[in-house]
């Protein structure tokens, strides 16, 4: 869970988020190298007093500064496309959950089970240990199992997001978006609506609790 001084990415809770963190570090490394090189050339050009007024063209330099950015973009594009395709694969999920965004709360429906649906409202600060990040009904998922997440909205555009899972989906009225994720470890993972949806946009948190399969089945029986 992030704290007030947390400026980095959250710790990953599944392989997909690990891949996203690796890609972030990979891209930042390339950007830092480019920034240092450009800064070095700028300083060198400012301090250099030599000039060549008759220099009109240099085919070698033009070739280098055309081919080099192309190669850099290839090094960035290949892992990016790989992650995009992995994120879109939905292969035999164990559970399907539909989240519906409202102004300003979330409702959940476990379509694989009979009559398992509930609304999730943010708790008041007096009732919660974590300000703006606790709800009355958490979304319960089984650990180490594929979960297909479907999301839509009943009014305006929302965005269902849990950063530690690498999941961010727009909840659009009249349309159902889907993604798949799994949770590698038990615990409580939080997110918030990531689309400005009105006055109480910051008061509709998302709380997911990852439990073992036996605890999950007992919870389903209790709520059926």
DSSP letters, 66-92, are HHHHHHHHHHHHHHHHHHHHHHH----
Say what the pLDDT of residue 54 is.
72
Output DSSP code: residue 127: G
Say what the pLDDT of residue 83 is.
85
Residues 6+ apart with CB under 8 A from 183: 13, 14, 141, 142, 143, 144, 145, 147, 165, 189, 208, 210
Q: Going by DSSP bridges, is the β-strand pair 95-102/105-110 parallel, antiparallel, or unpaired? A: antiparallel
Average pLDDT, integer, range 6-25: 84
- Pick 42 or 3 by higher pLDDT: 42
pLDDT tens across 44-91, in order?
A: 888 887 777 677 777 888 888 889 999 999 989 998 888 888 777 767
Q: Going by DSSP bridges, is the β-strand pair 205-211/139-142 parallel, antiparallel, or unpaired? A: parallel
Is-contact 104 89, C-beta < 8 A?
no
- CATH 2.60.40.420 boundaries in the chain: 95-223
Three-state secondary-structure class, residue 150: strand
Average pLDDT, integer, range 134-158: 90
Say what the pLDDT of residue 47 is.
85
Lowest mean pLDDT among 98-102, 206-210, 219-223: 219-223
Is-contact 167 194, C-beta < 8 A?
no
Lowest mean pLDDT among 13-17, 32-36, 87-91, 130-134: 87-91
Q: Looking at the domain 95-223, which fold is it?
A: Immunoglobulin-like (2.60.40)
- Residue 112, pLDDT > 70, answer yes
Structure tokens at 118: 């509930």
pLDDT tens across 153-205, in order?
A: 988 999 999 988 888 889 999 899 988 888 888 888 888 888 898 888 889 99
For residue 78, count CB atoms less than 10 angstroms from its CB and return exposed for 0-12, middle for 13-18, buried for 19 or more: exposed
- Residue 128, pLDDT > 70, answer no
Say what the pLDDT of residue 140 is.
92
Please indicate, yes or no, whether the overall pTM of this predicted structure exceeds 0.85.
Answer: no
Say what the pLDDT of residue 158 is.
93
- Residue 2, pLDDT > 70, answer no
**What are the strands, taking DSSP E only, across 129-222?**
139-142, 147-153, 158-162, 167-171, 177-181, 187-192, 205-211
Work out the percent of the chain whose per-residue pLDDT is above 90. 27
Say what the pLDDT of residue 90 is.
66
Residue 31 pLDDT level (bands cut at 50, 70, 90): very high
């Amino acid at each position: 869970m992030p704290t007030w001084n947390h400026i980095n990415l959250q710790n990953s809770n599944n392989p997909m988020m690990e891949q996203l963190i690796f890609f972030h570090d990979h891209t930042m490394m390339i950007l830092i190298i480019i920034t240092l090189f450009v800064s070095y050339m700028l300083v060198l050009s400012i301090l250099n007093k030599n000039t060549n007024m008759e220099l009109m063209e240099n085919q070698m330099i033009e070739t280098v500064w055309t081919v080099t950015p192309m190669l850099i973009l290839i090094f960035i594009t290949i892992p990016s496309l790989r992650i995009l395709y992995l994120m879109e694969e939905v292969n035999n999920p164990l559970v399907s959950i539909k989240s519906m965004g409202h102004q300003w709360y979330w409702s959940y429906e476990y379509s694989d089970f009979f009559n398992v649906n509930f609304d999730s409202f943010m708790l008041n600060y007096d009732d919660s240990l974590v300000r703006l990040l606790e709800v009355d009904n958490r979304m319960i998922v089984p650990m180490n199992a594929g979960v297909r997440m479907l999301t839509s909205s009943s009014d305006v555009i929302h965005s269902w997001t849990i950063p530690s899972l690498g999941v961010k989906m727009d909840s659009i009225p009249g349309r159902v978006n889907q993604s798949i994720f799994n949770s590698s470890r038990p615990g409580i993972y939080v997110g918030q609506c990531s689309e400005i949806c009105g006055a109480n946009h910051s008061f509709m948190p998302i709380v997911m609790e990852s439990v073992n399969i036996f605890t999950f089945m007992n919870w389903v029986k209790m709520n059926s």
